[in-house]
Amino acid sequence: MKKIEAIIKPFKLDELKGALHDLGVHGMTVSEVKGFGRQKGHKEIYRGAEYVVDFIPKVKVEIVINAGMVDKVIETIIESVKTGQIGDGKIFVIPVESICRIRTGEKNEDAI
């Protein structure tokens, strides 16, 4: 079992959701996050004074899947959110020790 955390551009979320659904991923957790990477934010002008927006709004998508699906899922994420511009985001793959579905008490693979 693996958890995939993908930091993506907010306007790509709907596309990604559709693609993952088609792949058979039936649940996800989404949060609005802010951050910066190598491009260090961007500049804006307010009434003549320039300022740097350090933290750019992003969306973090978390999904948990069977280990065998990891490559396919990563491929799908890249396919649906890549624009080729800076700020496209990153994907993290994290091992998951165990899972428990609260309502039924099902464990691990059954609870995905």
Partner 1 sequence: MKKIFLSITLLLLPTLAWGADELPTPVTNAEAINLVQAHANYLWTLVAACLVFFMQAGFAMVEAGFTRAKNAVNIMMKNLMDFSMGSIAFFAVGFGLMFGTSSTGFFGTSDFFLSGWTPDGDPWILAFWMFQCVFAATAATIVSGAMAERTKFTSYLIYSIFLCAVIYPIFGSWAWGSLFNGSGWLEKLGFIDFAGSTVVHSIGGWAALAGAIVLGPRLGKYGKKGEVRAIPGHNIPLAALGVFILWLGWFGFNPGSTTTADKSIAMIFVNTNLSAAAGSILAMVTSWIMFKKPDVGMSLNGALAGLVGITAGCANVSPISSIIIGAASGVLVVISVVIIDRMHIDDPVGAVSVHGICGAWGTLAAGLFNMGGTTMKIITTQLIGIGAAFAWSFGVAFILFKVIDLTVGLRVSKEEEMEGLDVGEHGANAYHDFQIRG
**Site for partner 1, rule CB under 8 A:** 44-51
CB of 109 to partner 1, least distance (A): 37
CB 111, CB 100: distance < 8 Å: yes
Residue placing its CB nearer to partner 1 in the complex, 15 or 44: 44
Own/partner pairs for 94-99, CB < 8 Å, 24+ apart? Answer: 94/2, 94/3, 94/4, 94/5, 95/1, 95/2, 95/3, 96/1, 96/2, 96/3, 96/64, 98/1, 99/1, 99/64
Residue placing its CB nearer to partner 1 in the complex, 46 or 103: 46
Residue placing its CB nearer to partner 1 in the complex, 38 or 43: 43
CB half-sphere exposure, 88, CA atoms < 13 A: 12
Residue placing its CB nearer to partner 1 in the complex, 11 or 55: 55
CB of 107 to partner 1, least distance (A): 36
CB of 37 to partner 1, least distance (A): 21
CB of 87 to partner 1, least distance (A): 20
